[in-house]
Amino acid sequence: MLKIYSKVKTEQLIHVIWRRGEGEERKMNFMVPDEECLQAAAGVKFPHGHTFSGAHRHLPHQRITQKTQEAFIVTDGSVELTMYDLDNKIIGKEILNAGDCYVYLDGGHALKILSKEAFFYEIKNGPYLGRDKDKEFIAG
């Protein structure tokens, strides 16, 4: 797992990349701290018929968030990820391939398709307020 911390606020985790095949087998490997708005984990190599956690549902709780966080899961193709720090400066670039998961916590990001085609899922907390209220574009 690649954890990228801000250079502006060095204690703040802002990007996480989980590569397919990483992690402790037969375990849920959590990718982000419990206090983040978006929670993400990778279940690695559970055998056929394995059960965990028991049947459940989640209890209602009021949650107040001030930011949007996202996860991208690439299922086909390859994508170039550009990650930005809190000051809108590029902090790194990585190639995401099928099976990789990227979690955006803060800063900024951009995705560029590298393969002929790519397929990925994007998951984020809501509600979505529309492009004009939800996004600030980074020049460059």
pLDDT at 140 over 70: no
Per the domain annotation, does 58 fall within a domain? no
Q: Which helix (H) or strand (E) holds 109?
A: strand 108-113
Per the domain annotation, does 110 fall within a domain? yes
Per the domain annotation, does 61 fall within a domain? no
pLDDT for the residue numbered 52: 74
Q: Which amino acid is at 7?
A: K
Per the domain annotation, does 132 fall within a domain? no
Confirm if 40 and 30 have CB atoms less than 8 A apart.
Answer: yes
Per the domain annotation, does 88 fall within a domain? yes
Q: What is the pTM of this model?
A: 0.89
Per the domain annotation, does 9 fall within a domain? yes
pLDDT for the residue numbered 62: 92
Domain count, the chain: 1
Confirm if 128 and 50 have CB atoms less than 8 A apart.
Answer: no
pLDDT for the residue numbered 90: 97
Q: Which amino acid is at 111?
A: L
Return the structure tokens found at 127.
Answer: 């509600």
Per the domain annotation, does 74 fall within a domain? yes
Return the structure tokens found at 68.
Answer: 């949007």
Closest CA to 138 of 62, 83, 66, 94: 83
Range of the domain at 117: 2-44+66-127
What CATH number should be reported for the domain holding residue 116? 2.60.120
Residue with token string 């979690």: 103
Per the domain annotation, does 55 fall within a domain? no
